[in-house]
Amino acid sequence: MDIQKIGVVGAGQMGNGIAHVLAVAGYDVLLNDLDADALEKALATIDKNLERQVSRGKLAEADKAAALSRITTTLDLPELGQTDLVIESATERESVKQAIFETLVPHLEPHTILTSNTSSISITRLASGTDRPEKFMGFHFMNPVPIMQLVELIRGIATDKETYDACLKVVEKLGKTAASAEDFPAFIVNRILMPMINEAVYTLYEGVGNVNSIDQSMKLGANHPMGPLELADFIGLDTCLAIMNVLHDGLADTKYRPCPLLTKYVEAGWLGRKTGRGFYDYRGETPVPTR
Ligand SMILES: CC(=O)CC(=O)SCCNC(=O)CCNC(=O)[C@H](O)C(C)(C)COP(=O)(O)OP(=O)(O)OC[C@H]1O[C@@H](n2cnc3c(N)ncnc32)[C@H](O)[C@@H]1OP(=O)(O)O
Ligand SMILES: NC(=O)C1=CN([C@@H]2O[C@H](COP(=O)(O)OP(=O)(O)OC[C@H]3O[C@@H](n4cnc5c(N)ncnc54)[C@H](OP(=O)(O)O)[C@@H]3O)[C@@H](O)[C@H]2O)C=CC1
């Protein structure tokens, strides 16, 4: 199947990165969000990140202009029914994702493939609420999308081979590498990464270290590019908590219990970089630890 036009639902940090790399690879992109401000902000971020690639000699100025011209925005979700592939990348909440697919389904072309960039939620369950479980799968990018090489591809129980192969072709056209993961809570990357982040929050909660010493230990002691708390802020603490809850509920094992301190940060609305405050306060010139 030849995919040319791709719809992206949710223009947050992942949605804008996904639109960016799809447009650079030559796809026409229709980007949707609930909010006109979010769409405007996403286009500004894409422009800034493309410019960064131009200034580092990774992209020609003409290719930047061409990529931007391939991205159209809309507040009207049903318009995405005209695309060949939809990548849903809205907030990590099952009810939000289900409502999006419910609204979209009556407007879809028969051939359209539906996918979700979910970090953790059952692909089989999301698929079962649509009219096309065989044309539904997980298409999981990593953050920051323009830089990270991996895309996890997750088949639900009913996903057919044609759908998988069509998504694999898109990953290859993006110049990225696909890893195939089975449909169990949080798949591969987050099954391993998120318990480590949660353990870092427990380490902070129990006073074993402070924000600085924990992040420094993992950067200098384990050669991680970011400390786990810095990475949690980068991902979004709401998303980290949502993933831990899916692991805890889905695998029914207390080892996935979300740290109460992570819950408290989310209750405070301190969601990390995207709200200006999380384990660090980003409102000044340099990030300042909040504990
Ligand atoms: C939660 C989930 O469901 C799954 C996930 O995504 S888990 C999160 C996975 N991601 C990670 O683990 C990221 C870990 N961090 C890193 O790899 C690095 O810190 C980083 C790549 C983000 C930044 O690297 P750095 O060395 O500190 O910064 P810097 O040298 O300025 O940037 C490196 C490159 O990233 C680019 N970059 C940095 N931040 C970026 C951003 N937010 N968006 C786009 N590009 C970005 C820079 O332009 C630069 O590009 P080139 O190499 O092409 O010149
Ligand atoms: N952050 C990360 O590192 C990664 C996240 N993911 C996954 O990607 C998805 C998005 O995460 P991320 O971009 O970080 O989250 P963000 O919070 O940055 O963005 C989510 C966006 O979706 C919008 N949205 C919410 N509901 C709807 C809706 N019904 N229709 C259209 N748009 C909607 C939100 O709007 P509003 O703000 O108005 O609610 C917001 O703009 C999640 O499933 C997450 O798990 C996957 C890989 C990595």
Our answer to whether residue 190 is catalytic in this structure is: yes
Would you place residue 261 in the very low, low, confident or very high pLDDT band (cuts 50, 70, 90)?
A: very high
> Active site residue: 49, 152, 198, 230, which one?
152
Q: Supply the residue whose CA is at minimum distance from atom 28 of ligand 1.
A: 225
pLDDT of residue 18: 99
pLDDT of 214 higher than 90: yes
Which domains does the chain carry? 5-182 (3.40.50.720), 190-289 (1.10.1040.10)
pLDDT of residue 191: 98
pLDDT of 1 higher than 90: no
Q: Which residue has tokens 């796809």?
A: 27
Q: In what order do the strands lie in the sheet with 177-181?
A: 71-74, 28-32, 5-9, 85-88, 113-116, 136-141, 150-155, 177-181
CB of 143 within 6 A of ligand 1: the answer is yes
pLDDT of residue 45: 98
Pocket test for ligand 2, best of 20, 33, 73, 139 (most atoms within 8 A of CB): 33
Our answer to whether residue 107 is catalytic in this structure is: no
Q: What is the pLDDT of residues 47-78, one digit of tens each?
A: 999 999 999 999 999 999 999 999 999 999 99
Compute, in angstroms, the gap from residue 50 CA to the centroid of ligand 2.
21
pLDDT of 174 higher than 90: yes
> Active site residue: 32, 49, 116, 190, which one?
190
ipTM: 0.95
pLDDT of residue 244: 98
At residue 245, φ and ψ (nearest 5 deg) are -65, -40
Average pLDDT over residues 123-143: 98
Compute, in angstroms, the gap from residue 12 CA to the centroid of ligand 2.
5
Would you place residue 268 in the very low, low, confident or very high pLDDT band (cuts 50, 70, 90)?
A: very high
The number of helices, as runs of H, and strands, as runs of E, in the chain is 11, 10
pLDDT of 266 higher than 90: yes
Q: Which residue has tokens 């992942």?
A: 14
Query: Mean pLDDT in the chain?
Result: 98
pLDDT of 7 higher than 90: yes
